[in-house]
Structure 1
């Protein structure tokens, strides 16, 4: 249900390693649910995947992020509304911090 979209044409690369954040798992009654990695979420948004949910793409996303008009929680909310992430991720400070870090690595 929360599968990562195919993102074969990435336009940027992370400038730092997020060891330990290769995938994010939630344990729920001894079952594990994997969902969109922070880097993939930012890439998805950058490529226009969240436009229908109010997140601009490309240079506009970069500009809005630099001006703090869009923050990590905005991206996560849009992804939850797009059924790309479960709603409990909105309260996951580690995930939000990782998304924020990826937003800050967008090229100028």
Structure 2
């Protein structure tokens, strides 16, 4: 999740100031998709935690798909940011940093 967080954090200033370019949105969507794929393949949690994580990962993938479709989509970056904001409420991760 830190990899997703870091990729999103690198794009937050541009997103908030002027929105993401098509190139930025596509690159971010690719990073999210690759990171989520890694988590699906390698993360082994207890069933309740796994279900919670899968919900967040699905939300991230939906946001990534929307970013690819339209960098300004209402269900793109806002969905990704909402998923990342939910993460520390669901998981105790002492190394997690909130987004700027």
| TM-score, with length taken from structure 2 | 0.28
Higher strand proportion, which one?
1
